[in-house]
């Protein structure tokens, strides 16, 4: 559950752990907290964006998450990882947002995404045709995710895009390990059904059986 790129290899904070930065921040060093923001704003924003589905609101939630964390920092005793604590704050804010808005998450429509830019995100060289396919797929995934109940969606998000272990998710959501696994299974089942309904094939791929992906692979895509 380290931030993308690891918690220790990040530019100015070379060799400094989140916990060190937290301790310095509590001591009044705002620059240390800014370093924490730099490390974690992308994952937190990504979580908020995929939960809420609206970019501007996700930015608000992201900003609010760090402000709340900054205010509550003196009360943070290191009982959990700083990142877990941040995720929990962000998830609570997202839940508040969804309840306040009284609606399901919005399906983000990446129509405004520049295809060239989108192509640039892929690994290696990707043509515009591939970028178009990926954009359509992205839209289909966003739509399928909306079909998930909130608990399943949260479990899928934390596992797939943030590379958290089942144990970490269980602690973060304060629920048994088996519940987390069940939510994941149910979530993937619903996603499979929804994607296939939208014409996305999940099984008929050349190469047959797909190898289970390592958590690190999910983490690498986290943001």
Partner 1 sequence: MTDGFTCTDKETLITYLYGECDPAERRLVESHLAGCAACAQEIEAFGGVREALAAWAPPERAAGFRIVAEEAAQPPEVRTATVLRPRRWWQAPVPGLMRAAAAVLLFAAGAAVANLEVRYDKDGLVVRTGWMRSDDGQAAAPAVVPVSTPATTPAQWRADLVSLERRLTDRFDQRLVSSTPATQPGGAGGVRPVDERVFLSRVEDLIAQSEQRTQREMAYRISELNGEVSAQRIADLRRMEQGLGATGAEALQNRQMINYLLTVSQKK
Give the footprint of partner 1 on this chain (CB under 8 A). Answer: 28, 30, 33-34, 37, 41-42, 45-46, 49-50, 55-56, 58-60, 62-63, 66-67, 70-71, 108, 113, 117, 121, 134, 137-138, 140-142, 145, 156, 159-161, 165-166, 178, 181-182, 184-185, 188, 191-192, 195, 200-203, 205, 208-215, 218, 221, 223
CB 99 within 8 A of CB 127: no
| CB of residue 38 to partner 1, shortest distance in Å | 8
* DSSP assignment of 87-151: HHHHHHHHHHHHHHHTSPPP---GGGS-HHHHHHHSSS---HHHHHHHHHHHHHHHHHHHTS-HH
Complex with partner 1: residue 33 or 87, whichever CB lies closer: 33
| CB of residue 14 to partner 1, shortest distance in Å | 19
| CB of residue 145 to partner 1, shortest distance in Å | 8
Structure-token pair, residue 82: 């700083």
CA 107 to CA 95: how far, in whole Å?
16
Complex with partner 1: residue 79 or 201, whichever CB lies closer: 201
| CB of residue 132 to partner 1, shortest distance in Å | 12
Torsion angles phi and psi, residue 127, rounded to 5: -75, 170
| CB of residue 220 to partner 1, shortest distance in Å | 10
What b/e sequence results for 172-202 when a residue is b if at least 16 CB atoms lie within 10 Å of its CB, and e otherwise? bbeeeeeebeebbebbbebbeebbeeeeeee
| CB of residue 99 to partner 1, shortest distance in Å | 21
DSSP label at residue 14:
T
Complex with partner 1: residue 7 or 33, whichever CB lies closer: 33
CA 108 to CA 110: how far, in whole Å?
6
DSSP label at residue 176:
-
Complex with partner 1: residue 16 or 188, whichever CB lies closer: 188
Complex with partner 1: residue 130 or 150, whichever CB lies closer: 130
Complex with partner 1: residue 159 or 171, whichever CB lies closer: 159
């Amino acid at each position: 559950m380290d931030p993308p790129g690891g918690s220790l290899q990040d530019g100015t904070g070379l060799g400094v752990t989140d916990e060190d930065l937290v301790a310095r921040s509590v001591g009044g060093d705002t620059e240390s907290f800014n370093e924490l923001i730099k490390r974690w704003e992308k994952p937190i924003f990504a979580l908020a964006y995929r939960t809420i589905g609206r970019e501007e609101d996700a930015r608000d939630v992201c900003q609010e998450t760090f402000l709340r964390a900054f205010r509550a920092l003196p009360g943070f005793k290191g009982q959990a990882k700083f990142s877990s604590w941040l995720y929990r704050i962000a998830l609570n804010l997202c839940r508040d947002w969804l309840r306040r808005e009284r609606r399901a998450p919005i399906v983000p429509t990446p129509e405004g995404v520049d295809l060239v830019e989108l192509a640039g995100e892929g690994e290696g060289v990707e043509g515009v045709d591939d970028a178009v396919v990926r954009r359509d797929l992205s839209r289909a995934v966003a739509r399928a995710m909306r079909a998930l109940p909130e608990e399943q969606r949260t479990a899928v998000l934390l596992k797939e895009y943030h590379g958290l272990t089942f144990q970490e998710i269980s602690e973060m959501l304060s629920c048994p390990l088996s519940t987390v696994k069940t939510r994941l299974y149910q979530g993937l089942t619903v996603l499979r059904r929804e994607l296939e309904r939208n014409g996305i094939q999940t099984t008929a791929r050349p190469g047959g059986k797909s190898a289970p992906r390592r958590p690190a692979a999910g983490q690498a895509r986290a943001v």
